């Protein structure tokens, strides 16, 4: 069941189980490190990356607990600065490309989710009414 939600630029929502969203955010955040100028945005998003090896524990409702604090995966991309949104989508595309090149069966679900997310972004850029697919 979906427990983590991202609101995209035109208000449409993208939601999945928190573990999927956690892994996608990790992939996207890793790619931000490769984008010139994205260091500050990477530093901001890195705080939301789930790290079980560092003691993070799922909270059961769309996020995790780190050192006694609930950290949620719910983002509204409209609150990101315009340049940070550009970095986010560039990193998302890079993460998808990396998974496709790797060609691992383990990545099929993530490839599907990143492809879906990027398709939603493409539809936003084309000016599609967000209610079309509802």
CB of 100 closer than 8 Å to CB of 31? no
How is residue 33 written in tokens?
């490190």
How is residue 45 written in tokens?
């998003």
31: exposed, middle or buried (Cβ count in 10 Å: 0-12, 13-18, 19+): buried
Q: What are phi and psi of 92, to 5 degrees?
A: -65, -45
Round to whole Å and give the CA distance between 83 and 88: 9
Supply the pTM of this predicted model: 0.91
Report the percentage of the chain scoring pLDDT > 70.
99
pLDDT in tens, 27-59: 999 999 999 999 999 999 999 999 999 999 988
């Amino acid at each position: 069941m979906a427990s983590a939600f991202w609101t995209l630029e035109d208000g449409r929502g993208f939601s999945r189980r928190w573990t999927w969203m956690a892994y996608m955010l990790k992939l996207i955040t890793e790619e931000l490190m490769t984008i010139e100028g994205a260091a500050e945005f990477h530093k901001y998003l890195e705080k939301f990356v789930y790290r079980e090896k560092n003691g993070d524990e799922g909270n059961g409702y769309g996020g995790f607990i780190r050192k006694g604090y609930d950290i949620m995966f719910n983002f509204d991309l409209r609150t990101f600065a315009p340049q940070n949104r550009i970095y986010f989508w560039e990193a998302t595309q890079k993460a998808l490309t990396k998974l496709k090149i790797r060609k691992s069966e383990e990545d099929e679900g993530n490839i599907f989710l990143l492809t879906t997310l990027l398709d939603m972004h493409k539809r936003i850029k084309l000016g599609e009414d967000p209610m079309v697919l509802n």
